[in-house]
Amino acid sequence: MKAVFYDVYGGPEVLQYGDQSEPKVGPDSVLVEVRASSVNPVDWKITAGYLDAALPTYFPVIPGWDLAGVVVKPGASVTEFQAGDEVIGYARMDTVGLGTFAERVAAPVRGLARKPRNVSWAEAATIPLAGLTAYQTLEAVGATEGDTVLVHNGAGGVGTYAIQIAAARGARVLATASGKNHDFLRSLGAEPLTYGEGLGERIVEAAPEGLDAVVDLVGGDDWRASLPHLKTPERVASVADNTVKEHGGRYVFVRPNPVHLLALTELVEAGRVKPILADTFPLERASDAFRRSMEGHVRGKLAITVGDQI
């Protein structure tokens, strides 16, 4: 099968496109014909070797944790899916080696759900990691109807999902971004705030009664600047800074969860959450997609298309 892979750690230049061995299907996995994947910052960070101390790596590595595709063959113990089912998945393994930038992947059922019927393959592939990260971070802060929730980095891949999911729960959503993205944030259902110096004053102006929850998706100083305006100290969560725990909050590293993933599918089908697709790249141009992601300032997500998209 064709796949993108690398033999050594490095930047986008180490990615190769060529033939790799067909995946073996374990009892708790399904063989999926991949129609699309997507790029997340963790993909190029793993490729650079940043997670080497945390995850055992076996070269050659096929990158990618997101997928949208069609089940070809279920594993021996799998009853949840059958051949022909259209699925999305967060196919993270406990090791690095066999990812989703390939024509086929053996994906554990613990990270799969049915694909939303009303979006393209490329749009569907942007849902799993970013959508689950947003969903689980909002779960960590208990975001619910009537809350005022501040999302830091609202225009990014996870932020676009966090805004829409929080709004779907009935929350009032404030979100930080640069001025050029303010109209975009409004289109998602958020009230925009410019990040950086003076953010505390802007929070007071927008929410004089304070914030019910804070979701940090970028790290840096802004989430700390929002803490004095948080009514309940522990209702803060970060995916970028584990020192949040020192403030009584939660650090979130996204986990595969089929119940949460199905909830995202249902939100998308109901029209309450829409994947925001910034651009698509064919599989053989995955290195260009990495470079685009590494530049930052991507509004939404970048997808990798694989084979026939019909």
CATH of the domain at 52: 3.90.180.10
Mean pLDDT computed over 260-282: 98
- Return the pLDDT at 292: 97
Residues 110 and 155 in one domain: no
Lowest mean pLDDT, pick from 129-133, 165-169, 254-258, 306-310: 306-310
260 domain residue, yes or no:
no
Does 95 fall in a domain? yes
Please give the helix or strand (H or E) that residue 224 lies within, else none.
helix 222-226
Do 220 and 282 fall into the same domain? Answer: no
Within a domain: 186: yes
Could you tell me where the DSSP H helices lie in 103-198? 121-125, 128-141, 157-168, 182-188
In the predicted structure, residue 237 carries a pLDDT above the cut 70: yes
Residue 309 scores a pLDDT above 70:
no
In a domain, 265, yes or no: no
Model confidence pLDDT, tens digit, residues 147-206: 999 999 999 999 999 999 999 999 999 999 999 999 999 999 999 999 999 999 999 999
Q: Tell me whether residue 116 is in a domain.
A: yes
Residue 122 and residue 213 in one domain: no
Q: Examine the pLDDT at 266 and tell me if it is beyond 80.
A: yes
Same-domain check for residues 86 and 41:
yes
Per the CB < 8 A criterion, the answer to whether 207 and 190 are in contact is: no
**pLDDT, tens digit (0-9, with 9 covering 90-100), for 25-43:** 999 999 999 999 999 999 9
As for how many domains the chain has, the answer is 2
Q: Do 108 and 146 share a domain, yes or no?
A: no
13 and 61 housed in the same domain: yes
- For 55-79, how does the pLDDT look when each residue is reduced to its tens digit (9 = 90+)? 999 999 999 999 999 999 999 999 9
Q: Is residue 258 one of the residues assigned to a domain?
A: no
Token readout for 145 is 């109807």
Verify that 141 and 49 share a domain, yes or no.
Answer: no
| pLDDT value at 310 more than 70 | no
Pairwise CA distance, residues 154 & 310, whole Å:
32
Same domain (yes/no): 185, 198: yes
Q: Is residue 26 part of a domain?
A: yes
Whether residue 12 has pLDDT greater than 80: yes
Examine the domain organization and report whether 100 and 204 are in the same domain: no
Full residue range of the structural domain in which residue 164 is found: 130-251
Whether 191 maps to a domain, the answer reads yes
What is the Cα gyration radius of the chain? 19
Confidence of residue 85 (pLDDT cuts 50, 70, 90): very high
Q: Taking Cα atoms as reference points, which of 25, 40, 28 lies closest to residue 106?
A: 25
Band (pLDDT 50/70/90 cuts) for residue 297 is confident
pTM here?
A: 0.97
**Closest CA relative to residue 162, chosen from 185, 142, 126, 135:** 135
The mean per-residue pLDDT over the stretch 259-267 comes to 98
Mean pLDDT score, 103-126: 98
Q: Are residues 103 and 138 in the same domain?
A: no
